Amino acid sequence: MLKVLSFLKPYRLAAALALVLMLTELSVELLQPLLIGRIIDEGIMKNDFNVVLMWGGAMVGVSAIAFASGVLNSYYAAHVGQSLGFDIRKSLMTKIQSFSFGNFNRFPTSSLITRMTNDVTQVQNTIFMSLRIMLRAPLLVVGSLVMSFFVNWQLAIIFLAVVPILVVFLVYVMKKGGVLFKRVQEKLDHVNNVMQENLVGIRLIKAFNRRNHEVNRFSKVSGTLKDGTVKALRLMEVAMPVLLLVMNLCIMVILWFGRNQINLGEVQVGEVVAIINYATRMTTAFSMFSFIIMALSRARASSERIVEVLDASIDLTDQDQSFNNIHMEGEIEFNHVSFKYPDTEEYVLKDLHFTVQAGETVAVLGATGSGKSSLFQLIPRLYDAADGKVLIDHIDVKTLKMDWLRKNIGFAPQEAMLFSGSIKDNISWGKENAAMEDVIAAAKNAQIHETIMALPQQYETKLGQKGVNLSGGQKQRLSVARALIRKPKILLLDDSTSALDMNTEAKLLQALKTYTSTTMIITQKISTAKSADRILLLEDGLLIAEGTHEQLLFSSPLYREIAKSQLEAEVSHLAFQTK
Ligand SMILES: Nc1ncnc2c1ncn2[C@@H]1O[C@H](COP(=O)(O)OP(=O)(O)OP(=O)(O)O)[C@@H](O)[C@H]1O
């Protein structure tokens, strides 16, 4: 929790102020039984109305101070709690942005969302409560104890026997609660995970009519969350009656001894009333403990989960002396590169060795699962090669500054990803402060301009929730436009034209020739591969052939087979159309 508490630093003044105000409120509360004792012993018992008025007036005065302190304390406690939550969320977001894919494998998306929302809220609320009431409870116990000794030490000694036992009991409950609440947060991760999958895959669920199956799956994880929470809360529920029982027994013992001492004339009635008053306040404080322990246990578990993310070591970082700001030509070289995904054994790329000249267009062809997308991911350093080197302009990518390297790369992933916002926002996302002419030019080259102009608000049309939904091919072209707007030195298109008709695809490929980028296009289609200067053919992670369409038709049996099957499909399609 210490690391999370270090986020309090910028707000230490406000936190200190909140504590001082809380202490003021507490002092008044501790003073009240003393004043009540005085009113009884010096006013009521001696029939002196002036004394009653004097101490009564003093009580009203200090109560007003307590009220003002309470209001101000709430204000500062809320300020500190909310600001701390804001800062932690921001730090988590910054850290997650620097995560490598290896890190993402360790922290699933749903878990990161829970950590950034629910876990931060737990900590934030606990800090607020600490400054408002949490510290008050233990201080009220200690203060009441001290003040009781001040009133009458013989009676107060009874507290000394009881309070330490209760403290040990509370520490035990808190430790156990911490473990149980950590499990609750993990179960919340599972619930969020299923919920996320359901919302993302709602079309598929409807199409496959799997509603009942998914509702059952959700009920199951939601049920385990409920059971886990009930188990943790039960522990807290046991704590409360135990505390109340012990404190009430304590009050009975005080009353018994108090009565005897009053009879012996050793103690005054007001003193016994004051001590009982302190005992009642202690009981209230202790009963607050079960609530406090729950909040602290939860906050401890949540803090651990937050710190796990903040302290996660990033396995893909810049080296100390990375190159930067050199002009990029765009030559790509794979020098005996082998690669496997983190935490897996099998190599998905094996000893790849090839060069793509600056400005050249190369198609990467191969069966599904042959390693095409994996190959692409090594170029912007989304992963590092296990063996061999990936070089850009003869420099190992590991020694290039990642920001600079990625700034020079335009990447359209296999699954087009659009953000909420307008079409213009989505295209200009690829280049900060892009002018409208650049947005339009990129859209024209990606063959999506005319579709956009036919929409009601054209480039300002909102996408996603409450906006229009685009077809797969339209999304792909927007994703390509986003990559093109950067006028990148290296352009990587991962099967980004698969949903386009032949005619549109041909126009797009033609438009790409106006760019000077080194272009690599992953494709399953011979017609697309043919338009490239050269073709790389992958099979099971191996580069099995390399050359132009004609060369490969001659040299590679596999390429010939793919070409033949696609040609036959095309011919039969044409024959069907002419019928
Ligand atoms: N994140 C990952 N973790 C572990 N293995 C992975 C991961 N992504 C892909 N793989 C594995 O790597 C191999 C190559 O996958 P890759 O996506 O590179 O193939 P691909 O040729 O692009 O296929 P497709 O044409 O279907 O997109 C596959 O066996 C796949 O299961």
Spatial CA neighbour of 490 closest among 432, 422, 405: 405
CA-proximal residue: ligand 1, atom 26 (nearest): 368
Is residue 429 within 6 Å of ligand 1 at its C-beta?
A: no
Name the residue type at position 163: V
The SS3 assignment for 116 reads helix
Residue-level pLDDT at 578: 47
Cβ(405)–Cβ(391) below 8 Å? no
Measured in Å, residue 211 CA sits from the centre of ligand 1 at 30
Measured in Å, residue 391 CA sits from the centre of ligand 1 at 22
Helix, strand, coil percent values for the chain (each to nearest 5): 65, 10, 20
Name residues whose C-beta falls within 8 Å of residue 416's C-beta, 6 or more positions apart in sequence: 472, 475, 476, 478, 479, 496
Residue-level pLDDT at 522: 92
Cβ(271)–Cβ(152) below 8 Å? yes
Is residue 380 within 6 Å of ligand 1 at its C-beta?
A: no
Distance CA 308, CA 172 (A): 25
Measured in Å, residue 351 CA sits from the centre of ligand 1 at 17
Cβ(347)–Cβ(338) below 8 Å? yes
Q: Which of 373, 476, 524, 538 to mutate to test the pocket of ligand 1 (most atoms within 8 A of CB)?
A: 373
C-alpha dist (Å) from residue 131 to 100, 126, 267: 38, 9, 38
Longest dimension (CA), the chain: 120
Measured in Å, residue 369 CA sits from the centre of ligand 1 at 5
From the CA of 414, give the closest atom in ligand 1.
Answer: 27
Q: Which of 106, 341, 538 to mutate to test the pocket of ligand 1 (most atoms within 8 A of CB)?
A: 341
Measured in Å, residue 365 CA sits from the centre of ligand 1 at 14
Q: Which of 337, 339, 372, 495 to mutate to test the pocket of ligand 1 (most atoms within 8 A of CB)?
A: 372
ipTM of predicted assembly, 2 dp: 0.95
In the chain (579 residues long), the average pLDDT of successive 10-residue segments reads 82 89 84 81 81 84 86 90 92 87 78 86 87 79 84 80 82 80 82 83 80 88 90 79 82 85 81 84 78 78 87 73 71 91 86 89 88 90 88 86 85 81 84 83 86 84 68 84 88 83 80 82 86 89 87 85 75 52
CA-proximal residue: ligand 1, atom 2 (nearest): 341
DSSP 100: -
What is the strand order of the sheet 395-396 is part of?
Answer: 349-356, 332-339, 387-392, 395-396
Domains in the chain with CATH codes: 2-310 (1.20.1560.10), 332-578 (3.40.50.300)
Residue-level pLDDT at 572: 57
Measured in Å, residue 367 CA sits from the centre of ligand 1 at 11
Distance CA 50, CA 548 (A): 110
Is residue 61 within 6 Å of ligand 1 at its C-beta?
A: no
Structure tokens at 58: 């003093």
Is residue 372 within 6 Å of ligand 1 at its C-beta?
A: yes
Burial class (CB in 10 A: 0-12, 13-18, 19+), 282: buried
CA-proximal residue: ligand 1, atom 7 (nearest): 341
Measured in Å, residue 197 CA sits from the centre of ligand 1 at 21
Structure tokens at 311: 């302290």
Distance CA 1, CA 19 (A): 19
Residue-level pLDDT at 571: 54
Q: Please calculate the CA angle 492-494-496 and round it to the nearest 5 degrees.
A: 105
Distance CA 447, CA 8 (A): 52
User: Residues 245, 247, 252, 253: is their CA dihedral positive or negative?
Assistant: positive
Is residue 348 within 6 Å of ligand 1 at its C-beta?
A: yes
